[in-house]
Amino acid sequence: MFHKEGHKIILGTLGIVIAFSLAANYFIEDSIIKGGIVITLIALLVLILQFFRNPKRSFSASDLQILSPVDGKVVVIEEVFEKEYYNEKRLQVSVFMSPLNVHVTRYPVGGEVVFSKYHPGKFLVAWHPKSSEENERTTVVVRTKNFGDILHRQIAGALAKRIVNYAKEGEQVAQASDSGFIKFGSRVDVFLPLGSKLNVKLNEKVKGGLTVLASK
């Protein structure tokens, strides 16, 4: 199963693979070179399919848990001053996605979207100290009953060229439902209330919509 954001790219890549394979078969006589071209094209298609995959998962919503919004590895757990929405200190948990991870972004909590904003920006590597403020990014805040306002931020990386954000202010959203997609990139930050009971540690691998980041 593949995410809707990848349908056009997958079809386009499939067309290119077929066209170039036929061209190589027609114009190139050397079987080794011909085979190398075909293998390279197939490998490209497999990588695109891998990137846009959207595996079926069984989600269990809970008002007492904050879930990881994406697949990846926890690379940051620290107390920071969040100045775009809260203007106060929060506990930041950041998950880095490699090109091999599923790149669907899911709502870490359910509730009402009270803030949703897109910021154009640079494409610094995701671990750059200024990437969270200078890179292309989106900020989404969902108001919950038990945790208050929970912010998650999609951040583009060096390879990312488009962030898709589905969140609209005023709408009710379900925990673990699709919040967006980062095409070919790379990190999502979640900002939690200070004193939150963390369920993850640095360098831990997490699954979007399944792994519990924090709980009551």
Asked if 152 and 163 touch (Cβ cutoff 8 Å), the reply is: no
Burial 82-110 (b: 16+ CB within 10 A, else e): bebbeeeebbbbbbbbeeebbbbbbbbbb
Known active-site residue 21: no
Count CB atoms within 10 A of the CB of residue 136: 22
Question: How far apart (Å, rounded) are the C-alpha atoms in residues 114 and 11?
Answer: 36
Residue 181, SS3 per DSSP:
strand
As a whole number of Å, the end-to-end CA separation of the chain is 34
Which residue among the candidates 94, 116, 179, 186 is catalytic per the annotation? 186
Cα 30 to chain centroid, rounded? 42
Known catalytic residues are 186
